[in-house]
Amino acid sequence: MPLPSPLRVHLRSAGVSLVVEVPVRGLPVVLHWGDDLGALDAATASTLSLARVAQPMPNQVDEPVRVAVLPEHHTGWVGRPGISGSRAGTAWTPLFTVTGATLDGQELGEWREQGPGSLAVEAVDEDAGLALRLELELSAAGLVRARAALTNTAPEAYQLDDLVLSLPVPQRARELLDLAGRWGKERTPQRRELQVGTHLREGRHGRTGPDAATVLHLGVPGFGFAEGEVWGVHTGWSGNHTHYAERVFTGEQLVGGGELLLPGEVRLGTGETYTSSWLHGSHGHGLDAVARRFHRELRARPQHPRRPRPVTLNVWEAVYFDHDLDRLRDLADRAARLGVERFVLDDGWFGARRDDSAGLGDWVVSPDVWPDGLHPLVDHVRGLGMEFGLWFEPEMVNLDSDLARAHPEWVLAPGKRLPVTSRRQHVLDLTDEGCWTHVRDQMTAVLSEYPIAYVKWDHNRDLVEAAHRGTGRPAVHEQTLATYRLMADLKQRHPGLEIESCSSGGLRIDLGVLQHTDRVWVSDCIDPFERRQIQRWTTQLVPPELMGTHVASGRNHTTGRVHDLSFRAGTAFFGHLGLEWDLARATEQELAELTAWIAAHKEHRSLLHSGDLVRADFPDATVELHGVVAPDGSRALYQLASVGRSEVSLPGALLLPGLDAARRYRVTPRLVGGPPHGLVRPAWWPADGEEGPVLPGAVLTRAGLQAPGLLPEQAVLVEVTATA
């Protein structure tokens, strides 16, 4: 039965209001998503609903169009529809009737106002043979998320081609910001004006991809890190996906996204259901406020890492495929003396894997390289007080492997021919239960034999022409779910196991994979100059403690650049710190300085990994300032970096964002391992051994301090502590 009258709910949390109406006819409509409106009553909500109705203009449909969270074509909406699909050409324009709505599991009345909550709406179209469940939530962090589940209730199959959700954004928001990039230079920001039409970002890599939008923002023109109202959306899915912003000729503006479905990928039989990925929405004044909502949401998860994030050494750029026990034990000895807490053995320990052409998929310790198994190395590492981690690439296979020879049918391919190779490898069909079980059992055998605390889970190629061998139908959707299931199964079998999402570096970073992993590898490029931009924009979604940020060797593996250790270590300092360096080639001076950086990171990591992110809008592009501020405002740690040569000799005053204007703070530079070469100290800078000046927060945030003089590609830390 249809609803007798509209239902309305006002959810409020962390400075955000979400007002939703479930109309008598049609799907739920968001009346307001943005700044907190304060307490409302039923009459005010009814008036707000009326006030939000756009009157029909000439040559439009006669009845006002109310754009739902899942936009409906039958209303006269000529923008992107929420559902595209058909039953052999019929049932392509469903008209759903709401049959019920609950809030936090309780039946929703005509009016309800509360804090965070979860609204679920059930609807049917009996003529089309479809049933729909919509979920719309506001979390304690003020983050909105929405998803839909579509069920086929008819005898004939229903082919679903697209299901995307959207949220409204007011017309004052006209500037877009999202991210692009390539391998080794991920998450590059790009801006443009939103004009009439659709700004569509499609990810067709079969994984999130280097050029993913990550978070698509729409805000008032000129918005920055600290100012300007912004709305941002993120599609929490690790396969093919979309983000979009749309402005139609009538003036309505939406931001949305969902999974990108390949032709015929989802065909629902009778009673079968497709559930969309979550669309996450964050609102705030300034990009930092948008980012902090994502961070607080992730930190509130029950599975979020609570213990201090172990300083990690990954051996890839130290030894590559050259796995020599004596050399690795020496590397472990050197790492332990520095204060490293986790030692990770990378690619090359298994099967016939002496280079990247063979052995992938054979997760058995190589008897040629490791005649006594991994025990001698694992025992040595753990005897030094470090955890042991191991590299896997469970979704991939070399054709030159025992697995591919025994089961060629387990390689994803559109038919008799194979897809183009990439990294000399192919993709395993984890949707095949036999294949999935084989991979799970081989990994479990290794994880059971050795005390492995951490898996570096790699994924080094796109899913090009990823299809089931038997049917030729696309497999990306099911492959993504199978990967999630494999991660979850291994974690259940091995309590305490941590997993890093590494995918050609930072090519699988999204809130879907982060439900199953404990950190992400931000990029295969650890050049600190490149990493500054990559990490700066990765934090728009991911908090620092979930980002793998490693100190590179002197000459960078990817770019060939050479940087001072202070710049390399300072760049890695604010994330989940690690090393990617052959320590046997480091000088005694470098080792001493590196020891100091690791000790400083441990001293400050409780703040680094729990504080609120702040990034300064600095007018000079050659200067960057970012930091973290304790949630109670009691202390902060900032980093000033020079990333180029300016046309002026000094960048001027530094405004330290995020401090409490009413408190007084002591400002103390921290020159870890000694001052950078050529540092020119300003007048306020204390002499060595002396305390820094004490100033009100209002002065530090509004008037600022003269910046020190730095050479290009140098950085310094500044600690700020509230005084009694």
What is the DSSP track for 364-411?
SB-TTT-TTTTHHHHHHHHHTT-EEEEEE-TTEE-SBSHHHHH-GGGB
Residues 278 and 106: their CA atoms lie apart, in Å, by: 22
441 is in an annotated binding site: no
Q: Which of the following is catalytic: 362, 432, 524, 660?
A: 524
Mind listing the pLDDT tens digit for each residue in 340-391? 999 999 999 999 999 999 999 999 999 999 999 999 999 999 999 999 999 9
pLDDT at 28: 97
The answer to whether 524 is a known catalytic residue is yes
- CA geometry: angle 565, 642, 525, nearest 5 deg: 55
Q: Band of the pLDDT at 649, cuts 50, 70, 90?
A: confident
Phi, psi (5° rounding) for residue 287? -65, -30
Q: Is 347 annotated as contributing to ligand binding?
A: yes
Q: How wide is the angle at C-alpha 496 spanned by C-alphas 491 and 497, nearest 5°?
A: 55
Residue-wise burial string across 15-41, b where 16 or more C-beta atoms lie within 10 A, e elsewhere: ebbbbbbbbeebbbbbbbbbeebeebe
Interior/surface letters 440-451, b for 16+ CB within 10 angstroms, e for the rest? bebbeebbeebe
Q: Which residue has the tokens 């050399």?
A: 327
- Assess contact for 440 and 489: CB atoms under 8 A: yes
Residue 346 counted as an annotated binding residue: yes
Average pLDDT over residues 552-563: 89
As a whole number of angstroms, the distance between CA 72 and CA 81 comes to 6
* Spatial CB neighbours of 587, under 8 Å, sequence gap ≥ 6: none
- Decide if pLDDT at 87 tops 80: yes
pLDDT at position 366: 97
Write out pLDDT tens, residues 438-474. Answer: 999 999 999 999 999 999 999 999 999 999 988 899 9
Residue 458 appears among annotated catalytic residues:
yes
Residue 243, pLDDT > 80, answer yes
Q: Is residue 3 within 8 Å of 24, Cβ to Cβ? A: yes
Our measurement of the distance from residue 129's CA atom to the centroid of its chain's CA atoms, rounded to an integer in Å, reads: 37
User: What's the mean pLDDT when you consider all of the chain?
Assistant: 96
Do residues 508 and 456 lie in contact, with contact meaning Cβ atoms separated by under 8 Å?
no
Contact between 427 and 466 (Cβ < 8 Å): yes
502 annotated as belonging to a binding site for a ligand? yes
720 φ, ψ (degrees, to nearest 5): -125, 125
Catalytic residue among 362, 429, 458, 510: 458
Say if residue 525 carries a ligand binding annotation. no
Closest CA to 573 of 539, 534, 613, 545: 545
368 is annotated as contributing to ligand binding: no
Which pLDDT tens digit goes with each residue over 384-431? 999 999 999 999 999 999 999 999 999 999 988 999 999 999 999 999
CB 503 within 8 A of CB 459: yes
pLDDT tens digit string along 660-684?
Answer: 999 999 999 999 998 998 899 999 9
Lowest mean pLDDT among 29-38, 81-90, 229-238, 649-658: 649-658
Q: Is 612 annotated for ligand binding?
A: no
pLDDT of residue 3: 81
- pLDDT recorded at residue 58: 86
Whole-prediction pTM value?
0.97
What's the pLDDT score for residue 1? 64
Quick one: DSSP state of residue 545?
G
Q: Annotated binding residue at 531? A: no
DSSP state of 276: P
Report yes or no: 410 and 358 within 8 Å, Cβ to Cβ.
no
Q: What is the mean pLDDT of residues 17-33?
A: 96
Share of the chain above pLDDT 90, in %: 92
Residue 602 is labelled as binding a ligand: no
Q: Using one digit for the tens of pLDDT, what is the confidence trace for 188-207?
A: 999 999 999 999 999 999 99
Domains of the chain (ranges, CATH numbers): 7-299 (2.70.98.60), 318-606 (3.20.20.70), 613-722 (2.60.40.1180)
At residue 249 the predicted structure's pLDDT band, cuts being 50, 70 and 90, is: very high
- Residue 599 is predicted with a pLDDT of 98
Please state, for a pLDDT cut of 70, what percent of the chain lies above it: 100
> Which of helix, strand or coil describes residue 116?
coil
CA 25 to centroid of chain Cα atoms:
37
| Residue 524 marked ligand-binding | yes
Size of the chain in residues: 724
Kindly tell me if the per-residue pLDDT of 686 is higher than 90.
yes
